[in-house]
């Protein structure tokens, strides 16, 4: 079966110069990333800030050209696809609904705009249908984003993303800017929409609890590389890569007695410029050996996971 969205060996580098006379350095934002999501499934993409999640999202949306590699949606390469076709296949829902809606446009305009741009007819009726689909009363069509609550705004953003009837929805931290009480509503809305419309989703998040709830499949990224990928249950029950384990251990428990989780990463932060052949995570890894720094790590299958660590057992 052809996956709904497939990334093959995507690589994206930025050329940076730190200081006026410094030599240009290459920052590898996404390094040979391959992902596949089957139709109707949800992929959770997790990793700390700067690990290349957002770059990967921009590439999937066609906003950024990868240096090499292919993105296919429903079997079609999006690099050569006309924009009008691309937007009907894949749409984003962004993190911050305060910033993702133009504050001077009315909800009616915002939701209807994608359709309007591509010469859709009957825009008003469609907007009404979409608002109903995401659980907003039709009377809000006249309001401005500033007059809605955060949760309502995110519903508007979802309606706007869905009006063209895309096959794939990319959610870039869609709940992290919302109140905890509203997060659950939005997540349940996404879940029911996914079932109802048969959407394929890529769900980018810091929040592991959300990913566990939503995703069928999880890919963990570190400094542009996919370091572990597994079915959600397998990953949360038995993570293989040391980084994934640390990530899972850092999750806060809803237990006041538990205290703050101890993180075993040492004081170093992820350094995208650190140049060595071996594992990128090695400098912070609690299980590091000399060979980790020297030998390049390849993805290998371990139990139910795909993991980029030779020492994982």
Contact 76, 68 (CB under 8 A): no
Give min distance, CB of 143 to another protein, in A: 6
Give min distance, CB of 83 to another protein, in A: 4
3-state secondary structure 161-217: HHCCCCCEEEEECCCCCCCHHHHHHHHHHHHHHHHHHCCEEEEEECCHHHHHHHCCE
Give min distance, CB of 178 to another protein, in A: 14
Nearer to another protein, 108 or 207 (CB): 108
Q: 9: which DSSP letter?
A: E
Give min distance, CB of 108 to another protein, in A: 12
Give min distance, CB of 152 to another protein, in A: 11
3-state secondary structure of 293: helix
3-state secondary structure of 230: strand
Nearer to another protein, 139 or 277 (CB): 139
Q: Which residues bind another protein (CB under 8 A)?
A: 58, 61-63, 83-84, 86-87, 91-92, 94-96, 98-105, 113-114, 117-118, 135-137, 139-140, 142-147, 157, 160, 164
User: Exposure of 21 by Cβ count < 10 A (0-12 exposed, 13-18 middle, 19+ buried)?
Assistant: exposed
Put residue 266 in one of left, alpha, beta given phi > 0 → left and psi -120 to 50 → alpha.
left
Give min distance, CB of 280 to another protein, in A: 27
Other C-beta atoms closer than 10 Å to the C-beta of 256 total 6
Residues constituting the chain: 313
Give min distance, CB of 100 to another protein, in A: 4
Q: What are phi and psi of 287, to 5 degrees?
A: -110, 25
Output Rg (C-alpha) for the chain, integer angstroms: 21
């Amino acid at each position: 079966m052809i996956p709904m969205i497939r990334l093959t060996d995507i690589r994206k580098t930025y050329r940076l110069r730190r200081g006026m006379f410094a030599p240009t350095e290459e920052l590898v934002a996404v390094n040979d990333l391959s992902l596949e999501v089957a139709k109707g499934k949800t992929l959770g993409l997790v990793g700390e800030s700067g690990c290349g999640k957002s770059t990967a999202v921009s590439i999937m949306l066609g906003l950024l050209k990868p240096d090499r590699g292919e993105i296919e949606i429903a079997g079609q390469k999006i690099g050569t696809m006309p924009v009008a076709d691309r937007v009907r296949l894949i749409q984003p829902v962004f993190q911050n609904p305060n910033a993702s809606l133009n504050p001077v446009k009315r909800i009616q305009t915002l939701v209807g705009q994608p359709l309007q741009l591509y010469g859709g007819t009957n825009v008003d009726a469609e907007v009404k249908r979409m608002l109903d689909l995401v659980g907003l009363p039709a009377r809000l069509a006249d309001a401005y984003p500033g007059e809605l609550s955060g949760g309502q705004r995110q519903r508007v953003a979802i309606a706007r993303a869905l009006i063209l009837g895309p096959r794939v929805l990319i959610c870039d931290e869609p709940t992290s800017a919302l109140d905890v009480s509203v997060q659950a509503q939005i997540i349940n809305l996404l879940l029911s929409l996914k079932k109802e419309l048969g959407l394929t989703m890529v769900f980018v998040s810091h929040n592991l609890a959300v990913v566990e709830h939503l995703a069928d499949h999880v890919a963990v990224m570190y400094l542009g590389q996919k370091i572990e990928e597994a079915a959600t249950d397998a990953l949360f029950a038995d993570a293989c890569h040391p980084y994934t384990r640390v990530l899972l251990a850092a999750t806060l428990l809803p237990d006041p007695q538990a205290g703050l989780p101890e993180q075993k990463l040492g004081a170093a932060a992820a350094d995208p410029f650190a140049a060595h052949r071996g594992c990128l995570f090695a400098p912070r890894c609690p299980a590091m050996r000399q060979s980790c720094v020297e030998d390049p790590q390849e993805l290998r299958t371990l139990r139910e996971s795909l993991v980029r660590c030779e020492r994982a057992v």
